[in-house]
Amino acid sequence: MMDKPRSSKPRAIVIGAGPAGLMAAERLVHADLQVEVYDAMPSAGRKFLLAGKGGMNLTHAEEFPQFQQRYFNRQQNLERALHGFTPQHIREWASILGIETFIGSSGRVFPVDMKAAPLLRAWLHRLREAGVRFHMRHKWLGFRENGHHFQTADGEIDVHAEIVIFAMGGASWPRLGSDAKWCWQFQQQGLQLKEFVPSNCGFNLEWSAHFKQKFAGSPLKKVGISLTDTQGKVQSRTGQFVISETGIEGSLVYAMSSYIRDLILRDGSATVYLDLLPDKDEGRVLRELAIPRGARSLSSHLRSKLGLHPVHNGLIQESLPKGVIQDLPSLATAIKNLPLKIISPRPIDEAISSAGGVSFESLNEDLMLKKFPGIFCAGEMLDWEAPTGGYLLSACFATGYLAGEGAVRYAKSLGKLATL
């Protein structure tokens, strides 16, 4: 069955009702196109709402050159999008929706009420008022010669449109619709994709049964992690993470995850180095260790003189031979540079986000597929990644905005819309 347009306006469909797709729809409807949004889930913005459970970190307020660097080797590919819809634009956009924002102590930007639902409700209301129609429980199945094929509760339909914007997400949240099952259909059309891999993820280590039983769930609240990345550069961060039953996870690990993952992909494993006392230099650590401990255990000595908790001592015992632990200079070095061998990333469906997707080489500067004029891609379908902290949402908004603007330019070039 073919689903027919409802008006004489040029028809644009957006496939995916996450932040990138909704932003694209907003740009399209403001240009007086007939806009319809299709999504496999029962309601729009499911992943957006889940992201809001941690406080709805919309974007980041750091200086723009530093902000742009957060997108690793894709910052040049994303430059046009990020400049077109900046963090300040995001704050202004939210304000127009009636959602005021503030900058937290870390530079992260949040709604004043720290919630996602009010923003999403206001956004969807404005889109519907502007004429956007939503078709939920419509799962995209693939390309058709005369349109796009969907599975619905009432059977399969084909939808034709002059303009199509794909925003179907990456591979990290299959239960919320981001299952990357679209990849095969894209590859069948000869489109260049990079395999999806976990990003902002935890990692597996081979803990001993004793360590796992005693310390799984224990946080390390202020430590450093360093490594030498695949380009030969030393990367280091300070923060906190958690020992899990299977390895390590948490904000510091997520911030380093792309470097760790790429080392594992290249070498089969990765070694990172922990600084258990980032506020003390090695000389001071050695001096504290050298103070006679009398009848106290080493663990008690480490805690009283250096402030190291049992989990720190457990990591030392787990990672070093006994001979090294008994040698104070070697122990001081290890406390500042403790090696951890990481085996593999956790599964991609546990990751916060993913890397991989549609190659930028397949797209023009407006995110239109070079091979298929009139078809655009946005959001986490594209081959980029970023750390947590508002950067993921920022790029989803920005690429959705650029794809929408690009689609309007394309429609005008065909004479489908009046030029301004």
Q: What is the pLDDT of residues 202-227, one digit of tens each?
A: 999 999 999 999 999 999 999 999 99
Query: Tokens 């122990």 label which residue?
Result: 331
Specify if 420 maps to a domain. no
Rounded mean pLDDT, 290-297: 80
The predicted pLDDT at position 5 comes to 54
Residues 183 and 65 in one domain: yes
- Whether the CB-CB separation of 403 and 15 falls below 8 Å is answered with no
Residues 8 and 97 in one domain: yes
The predicted pLDDT at position 2 comes to 54
Residues 9 and 48 in one domain: yes
Calculated CA dihedral for residues 376, 38, 356, 233, nearest 10 degrees: 80
Specify if 372 maps to a domain. yes
- Distance from C-alpha of 17 to C-alpha of 166, rounded to nearest angstrom: 10
Specify if 419 maps to a domain. no
Q: Look at residue 299 and give its three-state secondary structure.
A: helix
Sorting pLDDT into bands at 50, 70 and 90, what band is 420? Answer: very low
Residues 169 and 304 in one domain: no
In the chain, count H helices and then E strands: 15, 21
Gyration radius of the chain over CA positions = 25
Q: Does pLDDT of 148 surpass 50? A: yes
- Whether the CB-CB separation of 369 and 381 falls below 8 Å is answered with no
Specify if 219 maps to a domain. yes
Residues 194 and 209 in one domain: no
- Distance from C-alpha of 377 to C-alpha of 84, rounded to nearest angstrom: 16
Q: What are phi and psi of 221, to 5 degrees?
A: -85, -30
The predicted pLDDT at position 295 comes to 73
Residues 335 and 377 in one domain: no
The predicted pLDDT at position 8 comes to 67
Q: What percent of the chain has pLDDT over 90?
A: 85
Rounded mean pLDDT, 347-353: 95
Of the residues 345, 361, 388, the one at which a domain ends? 345
Helices (H), 189-227: 209-215
- Whether the CB-CB separation of 355 and 383 falls below 8 Å is answered with yes
- Distance from C-alpha of 158 to C-alpha of 150, rounded to nearest angstrom: 6
Residues 30 and 134 in one domain: yes
Average pLDDT of the chain to the nearest whole number: 93
- Whether the CB-CB separation of 371 and 362 falls below 8 Å is answered with yes
Rounded mean pLDDT, 318-330: 86
Q: Does pLDDT of 52 surpass 80? A: no
Q: Does pLDDT of 72 surpass 90? A: yes
Residue 181 tokens, joined: 């099952």
Residues 186 and 219 in one domain: no
Task: Residue 178: give its domain's CATH number.
Answer: 3.50.50.60
Of the residues 291, 326, 345, the one at which a domain ends? 345
pTM of the shown model: 0.92
Query: Tokens 């008022």 label which residue?
Result: 129
Specify if 166 maps to a domain. yes
Rounded mean pLDDT, 357-384: 97
Boundaries of domain holding 307? 203-345
Question: Based on the structure, what is the number of domains in the chain?
Answer: 2
Residues 61 and 177 in one domain: yes
